[in-house]
Chains A and B, each alone.
Chain A
């Protein structure tokens, strides 16, 4: 390297693919380390009083309005599309509500609400921790012998586990009621036909709750990792926020595919 007089621009395809692969590997290892340390401090750490409750307010109550609005609209859209779809095959709407509720419980409520939360909560966590990193507050924490994971990530992790589950249950209810109203107006399905739980069983509930917990854990860990690895001043905070949103959304989609596959293999299709 040292005796090369004119370095060629490094744009080989193999080099690019290799660099991307190495980046992915290193990023994955870092994220795994954040996750493991978070779990360790959940059981071993010192807890600052009120920190978890404050984060629960920040993550949960502040997102309630946004999640309700988007999930309400999404409930109306989903049911409308489902109605159009079933109208093309057999114009029978008696099972519409039961099928819709099953889909909501098993997948859509959790995944769509989590995508919304990844946007709102993930961006917030990454921006907050990222600006602490660039203003050297995180280094100050380390100098006071407080691990930033224990002090910053664990409260957000615990708060997100609780509030994500609560918000997902709430947003499922919102989407279902919005769907019921749409079904009544657009396809004149009576409410008592629509509110039917006959297709819900333990398998659906297990898959839905597993998704709640997995997403609740993934969003703060991924976003905190992105926030903690901020560099490059105020512009870096913008980049960290972007990466947090994209990576948490990707994490949700990938987790969804894995949990859904596991559910399909465990509980079958009945």
Chain B
């Protein structure tokens, strides 16, 4: 370590290095975003054609695989989430001595924020990552090229059904999660801090919560679904480098979906107010 390197050229400055690295990262992000935009355009062109160019059986198969098979995870997540929300709201309720507010306190956060967010994270981990692995394997084993050779449009046959299935799945799962989280919250409130379920439900329907709050959460779930579907299809289709490449794509999908979900969550929260 004490012996200096015998090379003549001085190493590039730290500042140059940082600038080059951040420039490259920015270009990469821009490339990914552009790729997703182009993919979205192509999918929408198939979906809004008349008649829609989308493979019906593939859509049905994906809906079963993504939605029905994810139901147990969503149920468990939602029930526990409801319980956690009540435990976190409990000190506030006790501090102000307002048991009637428990339903509102837990329900507000659950419906607007937590249920859509956690459902999106679970679906992104289960469905989005799985979808990328499947598409990536098809790409590296040249099955997509085989489809093109047979004059079958891979977007209409593979991508559009998956895109639509992810969006429907997340929306429906968020509906389930909303209901189950409130159910779990009502009964854990009864078990843990002895607030009767009736007064929990009264707090929910007592006028402080509006339909707008539910709609806010559901709108979020649609936007999250869009991000997850685009990221998983894009990274799956752009897989390179054989089997290890599939692993890298899956990792990229999960990370990009999570980051995208949080950034958009922020934007929507502020836009809708």
Contact B247 A246, beta carbon cutoff 8 Å: no
Least CB distance from A65 to B in Å reads: 10
Contact B247 A66, beta carbon cutoff 8 Å: no
Least CB distance from B187 to A in Å reads: 13
Contact B121 A115, beta carbon cutoff 8 Å: yes
Closest residue of chain A to B101 (Cβ to Cβ) is: A89
Contact A241 B258, beta carbon cutoff 8 Å: no
Contact A77 B269, beta carbon cutoff 8 Å: yes
Contacts of A66 in B (CB 8 A): 255, 259
Q: A237-B243, A238-B250 are in contact. Are A70 and B81 (CB under 8 A)?
A: no
Contacts of A261 in B (CB 8 A): 83, 87, 192
Contact A242 B87, beta carbon cutoff 8 Å: no
Contact B270 A80, beta carbon cutoff 8 Å: yes
Contact B129 A238, beta carbon cutoff 8 Å: yes
- Whether a CB of chain A sits under 8 angstroms from the CB of B56 is no
Closest residue of chain B to A115 (Cβ to Cβ) is: B121
- Whether a CB of chain A sits under 8 angstroms from the CB of B112 is yes
- Compute how far the CA of A131 lies from the CA of B246 in the bound complex, rounded to whole angstroms: 11
Q: Contact string, A245-264, partner B, CB cutoff 8 A, digits 1/0?
A: 11001100110110011011
Contact B255 A120, beta carbon cutoff 8 Å: yes
Tell me which of B83, B133, B255 contacts A119 (CB under 8 A): B255
Interface residues of A in 81-109 (CB under 8 A from B): 81, 84-85, 88-89, 99, 102-103, 106-108
- Whether a CB of chain A sits under 8 angstroms from the CB of B240 is no
Least CB distance from A16 to B in Å reads: 11
Inter-chain residue pair count (beta carbon < 8 A):
159
Contact A256 B137, beta carbon cutoff 8 Å: no
Contact A235 B130, beta carbon cutoff 8 Å: no
Least CB distance from B245 to A in Å reads: 9
- Compute how far the CA of A217 lies from the CA of B208 in the bound complex, rounded to whole angstroms: 41
Q: Contact string, B86-124, partner A, CB cutoff 8 A, digits 1/0?
A: 011011111100000100010011001100001001100
Closest residue of chain B to A63 (Cβ to Cβ) is: B255
Contact B133 A238, beta carbon cutoff 8 Å: yes
- Compute how far the CA of A167 lies from the CA of B128 in the bound complex, rounded to whole angstroms: 26
- Compute how far the CA of A242 lies from the CA of B133 in the bound complex, rounded to whole angstroms: 9
Q: A77-B113, A238-B137, A249-B122 are in contact. Are A257 and B84 (CB under 8 A)?
A: yes
Contact B80 A81, beta carbon cutoff 8 Å: no
Tell me which of A119, A239, A260, A269 contacts B258 (CB under 8 A): A119
Closest residue of chain B to A236 (Cβ to Cβ) is: B133
Contact B134 A238, beta carbon cutoff 8 Å: yes
Q: Contact string, B219-257, partner A, CB cutoff 8 A, digits 1/0?
A: 000000000000000000000001110110011001100
Contact A241 B91, beta carbon cutoff 8 Å: no
Contacts of A115 in B (CB 8 A): 118, 121
- Whether a CB of chain B sits under 8 angstroms from the CB of A52 is no
Contact A233 B243, beta carbon cutoff 8 Å: yes
Contacts of A74 in B (CB 8 A): 262, 265-266
Tell me which of A70, A119, A256 contacts B84 (CB under 8 A): A256
Contacts of B101 in A (CB 8 A): 89
Contact B193 A84, beta carbon cutoff 8 Å: no
- Whether a CB of chain B sits under 8 angstroms from the CB of A234 is yes
Contact A234 B259, beta carbon cutoff 8 Å: no
- Whether a CB of chain A sits under 8 angstroms from the CB of B132 is yes
Closest residue of chain A to B270 (Cβ to Cβ) is: A80
- Whether a CB of chain B sits under 8 angstroms from the CB of A64 is no
List residues of B whose CB falls within 8 A of some A CB.
72-73, 76-77, 80-81, 83-84, 87-88, 90-95, 101, 105, 108-109, 112-113, 118, 121-122, 125-126, 129-130, 132-134, 136-137, 140, 192-193, 208, 242-244, 246-247, 250-251, 254-255, 258-259, 262-263, 265-266, 269-270, 273
* 9 A-B interface contacts by CB (under 8 A): A69-B262, A74-B265, A78-B113, A234-B246, A238-B250, A249-B77, A250-B122, A269-B193, A270-B94
Query: Which are the 7 A-B pairs with shortest beta-carbon distances?
Result: A238-B133, A234-B243, A245-B125, A269-B94, A127-B247, A242-B129, A260-B87
List residues of A whose CB falls within 8 A of some B CB.
20, 66, 69-70, 73-74, 76-78, 80-81, 84-85, 88-89, 99, 102-103, 106-108, 111, 115-116, 119-120, 123-124, 127, 130-131, 233-235, 237-239, 241-242, 245-246, 249-250, 253-254, 256-257, 260-261, 263-264, 269-270
